[in-house]
C-alpha cells in the first residue's frame, strides 16, 4: 500500500496529516510505503529531513495524487470549499481519501467522490465509542481549540487573569464563564484556571457538572429542566426555542458579572444555538471579552462575525476560525496519531488494506465507496 500526504492547500491551514513519528510506526507494516509532498510539514515544524529520516519518500504534489492508493489530508476538498476543487480533479478511481470532509454541512461531497469511484472516509463521523476514541480528531482538535481560545481572550483583555497583591495595589482575578462544556469547554475551564482566573461554567448536559468540578471550576446552576439534554454518543440534543429563551433570560444575570465569556456550544449537524443575545452583550461590562468558538457554525452570540474581532457595546467579540491550525505542531501530532490509529484498523500487519463494513467504525466513517454513498445519515441528507 502506498500512503500519500499532500501539503495542505486550504487557506490558513498549517497542519499536516501525518508526522514523521507516524511514518516510522506505519512503515513497520510489511508492504507499506509512504510518500510526502515536499514541504508538507514545514509550517507545523516537521521538516522534510525528518520525514526522510523516518523512511518516507519526498515527492511533488502530482505524484502524491497519481501514485498513492490512500491519500491523507487534514482538509479534503469537502471541508476546503475555498480551493479544494483542484484536488478533487486529481483524485482517481479506486483511491481512498481520508480526512475532514464536513460531511453534515457538505453531503454533496460524498456524491462527488462516489461519482469518481473514490472511497472517502470522513473523520468527523468516527463514532463515539471507546474503541474509536484514539481516532477521534474532533475530540483532539477541540481540546487544542479550547486551550487556545482562552489565550486569545487573555491577550485581548485589558485585565490580567490572576489575582495579584502588589505595592501598587491589589488586582482582582478575572471572572471567566465557559458556556458549553464538552471537550473544548472543559479544556478552556482548565486553561483559564491555570492562568489564575475564577472560572464558572454551564452546559445543558447534566453530566457536565461533575466534569466542571473536576477541573476546579464552579458550575452555574440555572432553574431549567435539562433531564433530556443528552442525546446519543454524549452529544447534546437540540433544545427548543422556549428552552433557549429561558436559558438566555437566566444567563443575563450571570454574564453581567463576567470579564470573559467563552462559548463552545454545538449541536452536530445543526446551526449553533444562540446563547448570548445583543441585549446580554449590552448588559456586560465595557472591556469584557467574548470568544465565540462556534463562530464557523453560525456562532453562539448574535453579534459574532466569523473570522473577525469586532467591538460592540464596548465588548470585544472574537469569532476565530480554524483555531487548531494555529497550534499546528501539537495539532498535527494529535491528528497524525488519530490517522495512524485509523490506518492500523484498515491495514493489517502484512500490509493488506480492507474496508470491512462489518466494523462499526468503517460503516459509520465511509461516505463513498464503489460509486455509492453507503452512509445512511448522508443518504438521508442527500434525499
Cell of 115: 461519482
Is 139 a residue of the active site? yes
205, 226 Cβ separation under 8 angstroms: yes
Helix (H, G, I), strand (E, B) or coil at 126: coil
235 classed as catalytic: yes
Q: How many residues does the chain have?
A: 383
From start to end of the chain, where are the E strands? 2-5, 33-37, 57-59, 70-75, 96-100, 119-122, 164-166, 169-171, 175-179, 198-202, 218-219, 260-263, 289-292, 309-312, 315-318, 366-368
Our finding on whether 29 is near ligand NAD (CB under 6 A) is no
Of residues 198-217, which lie at the interface with ligand NAD (CB under 6 A)? 202-205, 208
* Residues 267-286, interacting with ligand NAD (CB under 6 A): 267-268, 273, 275
177 binds ligand NAD (CB under 6 A): no
Nearest-angstrom CA–CA distance, 306 and 296 = 6
141 binds ligand NAD (CB under 6 A): no
DSSP character for 377? H
Give the three cell numbers for residue 222: 440555572
- Smaller CB separation from ligand NAD, 277 or 368: 277
Q: Closest separation between CB of residue 354 and ligand NAD, Å?
A: 24
- 349 in Cβ contact with 72 (< 8 Å): no
Closest to ligand NAD by CB, 184 vs 192, is: 184
Q: Is the Cβ–Cβ distance between 237 and 229 less than 8 Å?
A: yes
Q: Which is nearer to ligand NAD, 236 or 366 (CB)?
A: 236
- Contacts with ligand NAD in 217-246 (CB under 6 A)? 234-236, 239, 244
Pick the binder of ligand NAD from 135, 142, 197, 303 (CB under 6 A): 142
* 291 sits near ligand NAD (criterion: CB under 6 A): no
Minimum CB distance to ligand NAD, residue 346 (Å):
19
**Judged by CB under 6 A, does residue 266 bind ligand NAD?**
yes
Query: Which of 261, 4, 25 is CA-nearest to residue 150?
Result: 261
As measured in angstroms, the least distance from the Cβ of 107 to ligand NAD is: 19
- Establish if 159 lies at the interface with ligand NAD (CB under 6 A): no
Q: Grid coordinates representing 235?
A: 452529544
Residue 215 has which C-alpha cell?
477541573
- Mark whether 159 is an active-site residue: no
Does 7 contact ligand NAD by CB under 6 A?
no
User: Is residue 136 among the annotated active site residues?
Assistant: yes
Binding of ligand NAD at residue 338 (CB under 6 A)? no
The verdict on 12 binding ligand NAD (CB under 6 A) reads no
For ligand NAD, the closer of residues 17 and 135 by Cβ is 135
Q: C-beta of 372: minimal distance to ligand NAD in Å? A: 27
CA distance 308 to 72: 30
User: 109 and 103 in contact (C-beta within 8 Å)?
Assistant: yes
Distances (CA, A) of 305 to 94, 255, 312, 316, 319: 41, 20, 11, 11, 6
119 within 8 A of 92, measured Cβ to Cβ: no
Instruction: Please report whether residue 143 would count as binding ligand NAD according to CB under 6 A.
Output: no
Which is catalytic among the residues 38, 102, 128, 379?
A: 128
Q: Could you list the active site residues?
A: 128, 133, 136, 139, 235
Footprint of ligand NAD (CB under 6 A):
128, 133, 136, 138-139, 142, 179-185, 202-205, 208, 234-236, 239, 244, 247, 264-268, 273, 275
Amino acid at each position: 500500500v502506498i500512503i500519500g500526504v499532500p501539503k495542505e492547500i486550504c487557506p490558513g491551514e498549517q497542519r499536516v496529516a501525518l508526522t514523521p513519528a507516524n511514518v516510522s510506526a506505519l512503515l513497520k507494516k510489511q508492504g507499506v510505503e509512504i510518500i510526502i509532498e515536499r514541504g508538507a510539514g514545514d509550517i507545523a515544524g516537521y521538516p522534510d529531513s525528518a520525514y526522510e529520516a523516518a523512511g518516507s519518500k519526498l515527492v511533488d504534489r502530482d505524484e502524491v495524487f497519481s501514485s498513492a492508493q490512500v491519500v491523507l489530508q487534514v482538509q479534503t476538498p469537502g471541508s476546503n470549499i475555498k480551493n479544494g476543487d483542484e484536488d478533487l480533479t486529481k483524485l482517481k478511481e479506486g483511491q481512498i481519501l481520508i480526512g475532514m470532509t464536513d460531511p453534515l454541512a457538505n453531503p454533496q461531497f460524498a456524491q462527488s467522490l462516489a461519482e469518481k469511484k473514490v472511497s472517502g472516509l470522513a473523520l468527523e463521523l468516527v463514532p463515539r465509542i471507546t474503541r474509536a476514541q484514539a481516532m477521534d480528531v474532533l475530540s483532539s482538535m477541540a481540546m487544542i481549540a479550547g486551550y487556545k481560545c482562552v489565550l486569545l481572550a487573555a491577550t485581548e483583555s485589558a485585565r490580567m487573569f490572576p489575582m495579584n497583591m502588589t505595592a501598587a495595589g491589589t488586582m482582582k482575578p478575572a471572572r471567566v464563564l465557559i458556556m458549553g462544556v464538552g471537550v473544548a469547554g472543559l479544556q478552556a475551564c482548565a486553561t483559564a484556571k491555570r492562568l489564575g482566573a475564577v472560572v464558572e461554567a454551564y452546559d445543558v448536559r447534566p453530566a457536565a457538572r461533575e466534569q466542571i468540578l473536576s477541573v476546579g471550576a464552579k458550575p452555574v446552576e440555572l432553574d431549567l429542566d435539562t433531564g433530556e439534554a443528552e442525546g446519543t454518543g454524549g452529544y447534546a440534543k437540540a433544545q427548543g426555542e422556549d428552552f433557549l429563551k429561558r436559558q438566555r433570560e437566566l444567563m443575563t444575570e450571570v454574564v453581567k458579572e463576567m470579564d470573559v465569556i467563552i462559548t463552545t456550544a454545538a449541536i452536530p449537524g445543526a446551526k449553533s444555538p444562540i446563547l448570548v443575545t445583543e441585549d446580554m452583550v449590552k448588559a456586560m461590562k465595557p472591556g469584557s471579552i467574548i470568544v465565540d468558538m462556534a463562530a464557523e457554525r453560525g456562532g453562539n452570540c448574535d453579534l459574532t462575525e466569523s473570522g473577525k474581532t469586532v467591538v460592540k457595546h464596548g465588548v470585544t467579540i472574537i469569532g476565530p476560525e480554524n483555531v487548531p491550525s494555529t497550534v499546528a505542531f501539537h495539532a498535527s501530532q494529535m491528528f497524525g496519531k488519530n490517522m495512524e490509529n485509523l490506518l492500523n484498523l484498515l491495514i493489517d500487519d502484512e500490509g493488506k488494506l480492507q474496508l470491512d463494513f462489518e466494523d462499526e467504525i468503517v460503516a459509520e466513517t465511509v461516505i463513498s465507496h464503489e460509486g455509492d454513498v453507503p452512509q445512511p445519515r448522508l443518504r438521508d441528507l442527500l434525499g
